[in-house]
């Protein structure tokens, strides 16, 4: 769900780089003859993704009729771009390291490139830069080789879609032992129905409710002891002060870290916990703190848990939509 700049490499340049070191003259000529088709395919893809009409593209137009041609186009990616030491690998690395974290889930570390339209069915797009989206391995696996069957099934494309700063995600604390958060897409009224449907589909395809819920549970468990000690030593006011101070600290840190992280200079695993926590801060900590502070100010114990007591943030989920 994180927007990215469109890659600077053109479809033609990338294609040429990938086939530049083929020693077999027959294969080289075979692929050189397909260059214009690949460039045209990439242009058609760009137009379709902007128009949310990827589902209407005919795979037959994006795959050569000859099986050998098809196989060689797939090798352009697997053997001439993704493989270490091959001519296309520098472009692969550049695309892969552009974002600080996976733009599809906005949480995990980028480990690969995902073909927005699967190369198996759209072989002419196998090395088209705009069809190659940096992704974590989980998102890559969850999407698999699927192509959209209708406009509502077109997942958010980081190069072409930008959801802006408007809030579209809501959470609800389920106060039981242990407490957990339920996340759902709460689309703003300014969004078109199609965009709302696409975001909900994206949220489902990549399992984001489960991902955010699991991470929130871990975070809740991590702060439980500190909150309890504040309550024991200073009462409700101490807990309020602790939570508000912690929230402010997270906010400052998030603002401080945003530019270096977005610069994408590092995707090392050592950064990942920080990235994870910043994402959690935005999605969980602030609404959680607001809940706890309100609860305390109404004279209620923040650590008590009643299975029947639920406190939500934003409208309650539309159970039909989230089912």
- Please report, as ranges, the residues that interact with Zn ion according to CB under 5 A: 102, 104-105, 108, 136, 139
Q: State the residue number with the nearest CB to Zn ion.
A: 102
Whichever of 72 and 114 has its CB closer to Zn ion, that residue is 114
For the CB of residue 16, give the shortest distance to Zn ion in the complex, in Å: 30
Q: Residues 305, 175: contact at Cβ < 8 Å?
A: yes
- DSSP helix/strand/coil, 42: helix
Q: Residues 310, 173: contact at Cβ < 8 Å?
A: yes
For the CB of residue 107, give the shortest distance to Zn ion in the complex, in Å: 6
Whichever of 106 and 175 has its CB closer to Zn ion, that residue is 106
Whichever of 141 and 300 has its CB closer to Zn ion, that residue is 141
Whichever of 49 and 139 has its CB closer to Zn ion, that residue is 139
Cα–Cα distance for residue pair 168/197, rounded to 1 Å:
12
Residue 12's CB is within 10 A of a number of other CB atoms, namely 14
Q: What share of the chain is helix, strand, coil (3-state, %, to 5)?
A: 55, 5, 40
Whichever of 156 and 240 has its CB closer to Zn ion, that residue is 156
For the CB of residue 140, give the shortest distance to Zn ion in the complex, in Å: 8
For the CB of residue 45, give the shortest distance to Zn ion in the complex, in Å: 22
Q: Where are the beta strands (DSSP E) in 233-321?
A: 310-312
For the CB of residue 211, give the shortest distance to Zn ion in the complex, in Å: 8
Q: How far apart are the first and last CA of the chain?
A: 21
For the CB of residue 318, give the shortest distance to Zn ion in the complex, in Å: 25
- DSSP helix/strand/coil, 114: strand
Kindly state the tokens that stand for 139: 């998102």
Whichever of 137 and 217 has its CB closer to Zn ion, that residue is 137
HEC readout, 24-60: CHHHHHHHHCCHHHHHHHHHHHHHHHHCCCHHHCCHH
Nearest residue to 89 via CA among 9, 155, 149: 9
């Amino acid at each position: 769900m994180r927007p990215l700049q469109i890659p600077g490499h053109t479809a033609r340049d990338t294609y040429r780089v990938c086939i530049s070191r083929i020693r077999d003259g027959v294969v080289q000529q075979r692929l050189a003859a397909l260059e214009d088709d690949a460039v045209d395919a990439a242009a058609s893809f760009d137009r379709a993704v902007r128009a949310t009409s990827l589902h209407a593209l005919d795979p037959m137009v994006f795959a050569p009729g000859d099986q050998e041609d098809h196989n060689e186009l797939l090798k352009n990616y697997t053997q001439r771009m993704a493989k270490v030491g091959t001519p296309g690998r520098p472009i692969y690395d550049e695309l892969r390291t552009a974002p600080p974290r996976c733009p599809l889930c906005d949480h995990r570390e980028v480990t690969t490139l995902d073909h927005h339209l699967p190369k198996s069915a759209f072989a002419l797009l196998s090395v088209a830069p705009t069809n190659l989206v940096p992704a974590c391995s989980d998102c890559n696996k969850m999407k698999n080789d699927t192509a959209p069957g209708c406009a509502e099934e077109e997942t958010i494309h980081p190069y072409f879609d930008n959801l802006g700063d408007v809030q579209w995600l809501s959470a609800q604390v389920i106060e039981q032992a242990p407490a957990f958060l339920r996340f759902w897409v709460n689309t703003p009224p300014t969004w078109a129905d199609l965009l709302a449907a696409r975001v909900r589909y994206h949220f489902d395809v990549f399992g984001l409710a489960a991902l955010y819920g699991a991470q929130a549970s871990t975070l809740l468990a991590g702060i439980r002891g500190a909150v309890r000690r504040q309550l024991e030593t200073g009462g409700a006011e101490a807990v309020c002060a602790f939570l508000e101070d912690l929230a402010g600290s997270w906010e400052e840190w998030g603002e401080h870290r945003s530019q270096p992280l977005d610069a994408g200079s590092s995707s090392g695993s050592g950064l990942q916990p920080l990235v994870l926590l910043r994402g959690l801060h935005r999605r969980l900590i602030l609404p959680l703190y607001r809940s706890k502070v309100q609860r305390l100010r109404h004279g209620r114990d923040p650590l008590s848990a009643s299975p029947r007591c639920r406190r939500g943030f934003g409208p309650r989920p539309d159970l039909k939509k989230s089912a």
